[in-house]
Amino acid sequence: MCGRYVSSSPPDEIARYFDAEPPTETAIEPSWNVAPTDDVYVVLADGGVRRVASHHWGLVPFWATSPAIGNKMINARADALATKSAFKRAFQKKRCLIPADGFYEWRKIEGQKAKQPFFIHRPDDEPLAFAGLWEEWRGPDRSRDERLRSATIITTTPNELLATIHDRMPVILPSSAWEAWLDPADDDIEALGKLLVPAPAGLLTMHPVATDVGNVRNNGPQLIEPVETTDTGAPKR
């Protein structure tokens, strides 16, 4: 799964990188510890224009009776998109990119209950484009006065690098796939599904970081700083 990530780039930089219009909403504060239910930036195609917008992290299907269901929908398995009711419609028409400057994953420490977090990012520190889905929820009475836009990150099997710490990873789309993925008129589900593969191992690098990232109240660039670990994988004290 992908349960924490970094989104520290300003919205205008995100817009330039993804060749999109900047958001019109109030800017989201930079975060080195984005957690489920936070507001996050997404890139989507709206009326033929690519733009950056803010969405709630945790997809709330249009048919939901309560937005609380989104707490369990922060990730969507690539192999379930075409069949699971929560994701099927969004996969057909409401696909997005979720920009990230990196993400975290945890590895079990031999002989301990604790886990060691790792920060995963591009060696050149350019942004990552997670494949995502978005939805609009208008409440149980379908009121236009109650509207929530939400998103989920699609995951797949890990590449060679990530397999050393976890059995899933976010789908990271190359720029060559962005246009097709964002186009709501593209309904070739079979072709789109073929984009949802593990990223090349050389695209990413990772290093251990302090366990502070496990607490959502902690934030700041210090969370991505490398730490030394012992032979067992535990952080040195």
Backbone dihedral angles phi then psi of residue 72, each to the nearest 5 degrees? -100, 5
Q: Give the separation between CA 60 and CA 69, rounded to whole angstroms.
A: 6
SS3 122: coil
Determine which one of 21, 25, 105, 136 is catalytic: 105
Q: How far apart are CA 189 and CA 183, in angstroms?
A: 12
Q: Per residue, what are the HEC states of 192-208?
A: HHCCCCCCCHHHCEEEE
**Which pair of structure tokens corresponds to residue 82?**
């075409």
Asked if 146 is an active-site residue, the reply is no
Contact, 226 vs 207, CB < 8 A? yes
CA angle 165, 168, 173 (to 5 degrees): 115
Residue 237 neighbours by CB under 8 Å, 6+ apart: none
Residues 6+ apart with CB under 8 A from 46: 53
Rounded Cα distance between 118 and 148, Å, is: 32
96 is catalytic: no
- In angstroms, what CA-CA distances link 11 with 34, 41, 194? 15, 8, 30
Q: Which residues are catalytic?
A: 2, 105
